[in-house]
Amino acid sequence: MAIEIQRLGVAGGGQMGSGIAQIAAQAGLEVSLYDVTEALARAGMEAARQRLARLAERGNLSAAAAQEAGSRIHPAAQLEAFARADFVIEAIVENEPAKAELFRRLNEICSPKAIFASNTSSISITRLGAASGRPALFIGMHFMNPPPVMKLVEVIRGLETSDETYAATRSLAERLGKTTITVEDAPGFVVNRILLPMINEAIFALQEGVGSAPDIDTGMRLGTNQPMGPLELADLIGLDTCLAILEVLHRGLGEDKYRPCALLRKYVDAGFFGRKSGRGFYLYGRDGKKTGVTVAGTST
Ligand SMILES: NC(=O)c1ccc[n+]([C@@H]2O[C@H](COP(=O)([O-])OP(=O)(O)OC[C@H]3O[C@@H](n4cnc5c(N)ncnc54)[C@H](O)[C@@H]3O)[C@@H](O)[C@H]2O)c1
């Protein structure tokens, strides 16, 4: 029998969790949005409500539908809010011990029937499934950034993921308006296995002075028809997240070609996380728009 999903728990109210909460609420699900503090959970909900309001202003959604969807997102600073969830999507920081600990706690709190999905960009679904204590009900559900805009969800089966869990996850992704691909549980799956080495190479080119950040990005936008250049995209993803993914690729695949560029490490050490911190390869204003370029630690 198909699994009925009405109540969704989303862990992590950052750019991905907030976006996933938004599209789930638009699809009629009741969503608990959890983060480590009440303020962060609320900020995730507010960001989703603001995007919904903008959709209504532009005539892409009725004002009533935007209002209703916004009211289906409930911020929470306690994981116990997920006790009645049918399905949980985890979108916290890209750090394996943090994710494993969260799933261990969720296993104690949630119904034994609830499905757990991780939105990890790169970490082993089989290992997280084992840590969760419910590997048959565990799966990878990798949304792209920003979730309300990007059409793809990579679905990753762990070694013990059941057919029912897989079917329920694909059907949830379709309900959220997404197209799925199914990929094997390997470091970085498909999209980031291919994307991150390109971003890393762009950072090496910048570090070696082959081109400036705007020239590298314009080159790749106009020269290869990508909507964003690799350094702009790295800033959107988050440089901390890019570094974490490259480390998983490097460790997991064991090849030098995945070694993170030193400049990326330096920027993360300096707290330049990209758009979300206001500075990465570019500088950003409060509205998220570019205001300048970072040149080896100085800004112009
Ligand atoms: N940024 C992207 O382009 C992208 C795309 C696909 C998947 N992902 C993955 O999604 C996840 C989240 O990425 P993001 O870009 O939203 O990051 P983010 O930095 O915007 O947000 C992470 C959120 O998780 C919260 N958090 C950290 N530890 C927590 C914990 N123990 N419990 C609850 N909340 C916790 C933080 O407070 C923050 O609000 C990562 O696994 C990332 O790899 C990111």
pLDDT digits (tens, 9 = 90+) for 243-264: 999 999 999 999 999 999 999 9
How many whole angstroms separate alpha carbon 246 and alpha carbon 242? Answer: 6
Choice among 39-43, 98-102, 127-131, 286-290 with the minimum mean pLDDT: 286-290
CATH 3.40.50.720-classified regions of the chain: 7-183
Mean of pLDDT values over 55-59: 97
Whether 174 is a known active-site residue: answer no
> Is residue 129 within 8 Å of 99, Cβ to Cβ?
no
pTM higher than the cut 0.85 = yes
Q: What burial letters (b/e) apply to 154-176, b meaning 16+ CB within 10 Å?
A: bbbbbeebbeebbebbbebbeeb
CATH 1.10.260.40 fits 192-293, yes or no: no
Averaged confidence pLDDT in the chain? 96
Q: How many angstroms does the Cα of residue 91 sit away from the middle of ligand 1?
A: 5
Q: Is the pLDDT of residue 1 over 80?
A: no
CATH 1.10.1040.10-classified regions of the chain: 192-293
Superfamily of domain 7-183: NAD(P)-binding Rossmann-like Domain (3.40.50.720)
Given pLDDT bands bounded at 50, 70 and 90, which one contains residue 2?
confident
- 237 Cβ inside 6 Å of ligand 1: yes
Q: Is the pLDDT of residue 296 over 80?
A: no
Mean of pLDDT values over 110-126: 97
Q: Is the pLDDT of residue 299 over 70?
A: no
How many whole angstroms separate alpha carbon 79 and alpha carbon 85? Answer: 11
- 233 Cβ inside 6 Å of ligand 1: no
Whether 250 is a known active-site residue: answer no
**Residue of minimum CA distance from atom 33 in ligand 1:** 35
Q: Is the pLDDT of residue 52 over 60?
A: yes
Q: Is the pLDDT of residue 300 over 70?
A: no
pLDDT of residue 287: 87
